[in-house]
């Protein structure tokens, strides 16, 4: 019964917050925990040091701390977080703690059924940072949808007509990808389908497929296919720290690199349908950005252009940048992004141009994540990459 009441209250809170109104008489009344439900002073002090020590720079640490806190007895965990919320200086740390209360390990992440989730997300909606508020609102929206929709939910109506196949490249169970688009179109384009390979950010999981299908619907046309890679999980540490292992940033237990994964996807798609090899583009954001850079600066690569958004740039973890000569890179970054600051995109632009690459950097407002006119921004990037390889058909 407590879980049902919590779910109902969470859905009601989500509606109020999402429309930007939380009237006083609608504010959820939180029962004051009894003294017996409070953590001991020693435990409080230990957690206070741990939370106030999150100074930023490592979102994985903040997420792990949030996971540990959410695993405590519900009243204890919430009381500790509420007492220390305002003392957590890092915006990204507060965002990751919200995420940790919503999702539970192991990977792939699943929504957590926590009786105090609504209270924790309320801390986020009242946070002074607009970026933290946005994360809280998005999680509230997800929780509202989950509360109202059975697990056997059909595809969202807006993407129900977008074809998708759940495939394994080369028959390898670890090389899962979604192939989006009209593979069985009545008429294959003369030069073959153009291919956009997507490496999602965050944990690189399968749950990005609805967003990716919306890209196909709202950005691309029938000449295009999208192959969304699903990040393999080799162990919990890898899933937290190295979502997309590359040739220069390997993980000991990974059986293949992301570059090899991309090559396998291209080969698998080509075995099914004719592909326009002049237009095989990569799209990666956040954690999916570095492998896009790495793949695009290899001496030999099937990729002819890369669209990297809200990500870091570390040239030491890539092949020689001289390989980028003549290749196209479209960079999208928010000046107010505190997770992956603007300096990374600026460094990428400078280094790649110096190596002879064609680079265009654009900005958007809203901080880390997809904000604003998302489909317009993605369309501009794809069109620019397309222009770099020749006139459109």
- Tell me how crowded residue 350 is: count the other CB atoms within 10 A of its CB: 13
Residue from 90, 164, 125 nearest 13 by CA: 125
Residue from 95, 63, 80, 79 nearest 30 by CA: 79
- Among 4-13, 220-229, 268-277, 329-338, whose mean pLDDT is lowest? 4-13
311, 285 Cβ separation under 8 angstroms: yes
- For 71-105, write each residue's pLDDT tens digit: 888 888 999 999 999 999 999 999 999 999 998 87
User: Domains plus CATH for the chain?
Assistant: 2-148 (no CATH), 157-388 (3.40.50.1820)
Name the band, by pLDDT with cuts 50, 70 and 90, for residue 390.
low
265, 227 Cβ separation under 8 angstroms: yes
What is the structure's pLDDT at 216? 97
Distance between CA atoms of 178 and 182, rounded to whole angstroms?
A: 13
- For 27-76, write each residue's pLDDT tens digit: 333 344 444 456 788 888 999 999 988 876 678 888 889 999 998 888 88
- For 105-158, write each residue's pLDDT tens digit: 776 677 888 888 888 988 998 899 988 988 888 887 777 655 544 344 567 889
Name the band, by pLDDT with cuts 50, 70 and 90, for residue 348.
very high
Name the band, by pLDDT with cuts 50, 70 and 90, for residue 301.
very high
Q: What sign has the CA pseudo-torsion 365, 369, 371, 376?
A: positive
What is the structure's pLDDT at 297? 97
Instruction: Provide the mean pLDDT of the chain.
Output: 85
What is the structure's pLDDT at 185? 65
Q: Mean pLDDT over residues 157-174, rounded?
A: 92
What is the structure's pLDDT at 107? 66
- For 200-227, write each residue's pLDDT tens digit: 998 898 889 999 999 999 999 999 999 9
Q: Mean pLDDT over residues 238-263, rounded?
A: 93
348, 314 Cβ separation under 8 angstroms: no
What is the structure's pLDDT at 23? 36
266, 302 Cβ separation under 8 angstroms: yes
């Amino acid at each position: 019964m407590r879980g049902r009441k919590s779910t109902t209250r969470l859905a009601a809170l989500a509606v109020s917050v999402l429309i930007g109104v939380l009237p006083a008489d609608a504010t959820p009344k939180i029962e004051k925990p009894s003294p017996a439900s409070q953590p001991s002073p020693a435990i409080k002090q230990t957690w206070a040091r741990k939370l106030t020590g999150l100074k930023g720079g490592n979102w994985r640490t903040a997420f792990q701390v949030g996971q540990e806190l959410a695993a405590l007895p519900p009243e204890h965990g919430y009381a500790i977080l509420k007492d220390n919320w305002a003392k957590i200086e890092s915006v990204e740390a507060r965002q990751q703690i919200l995420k940790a209360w919503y999702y539970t390990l192991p990977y792939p992440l699943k929504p957590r059924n926590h009786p105090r989730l609504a209270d924790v997300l309320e801390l986020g909606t009242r946070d002074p940072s607009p970026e933290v508020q946005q994360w809280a609102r998005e999680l509230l929206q997800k929780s509202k949808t989950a509360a109202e929709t059975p697990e056997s939910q059909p595809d969202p109506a807006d993407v129900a007509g977008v074809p998708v196949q759940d495939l394994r490249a080369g028959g390898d169970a670890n090389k899962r990808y979604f192939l989006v688009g009209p593979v069985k179109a009545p008429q294959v384009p003369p030069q073959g389908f153009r291919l956009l390979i997507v490496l999602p950010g965050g944990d690189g999981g399968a749950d990005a497929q609805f967003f990716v299908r919306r890209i196909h619907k709202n950005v691309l046309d029938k000449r295009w296919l999208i192959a969304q890679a699903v990040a393999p999980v080799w162990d919990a540490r890898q899933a937290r720290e190295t979502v997309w292992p590359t040739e220069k940033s390997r993980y000991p237990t990974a059986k293949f690199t992301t570059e090899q994964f991309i090559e396998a996807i291209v080969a698998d798609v080509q075995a099914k349908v004719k592909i326009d090899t002049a237009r095989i583009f990569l799209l990666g954001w956040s954690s999916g950005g570095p492998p896009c850079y790495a793949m695009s600066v290899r001496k030999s690569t099937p990729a002819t252009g890369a669209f990297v958004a809200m990500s870091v740039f570390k040239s030491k973890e890539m092949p020689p940048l001289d390989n980028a000569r003549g290749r196209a890179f479209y960079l999208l970054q928010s000046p107010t992004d505190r997770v992956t600051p603007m300096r990374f995109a600026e460094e990428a632009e400078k280094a790649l141009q110096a190596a002879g690459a064609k680079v265009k950097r654009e900005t958007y407002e809203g901080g880390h994540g997809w904000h604003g006119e998302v489909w317009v921004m993605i369309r501009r990037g794809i069109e620019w990459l397309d222009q770099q390889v020749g006139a459109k058909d």
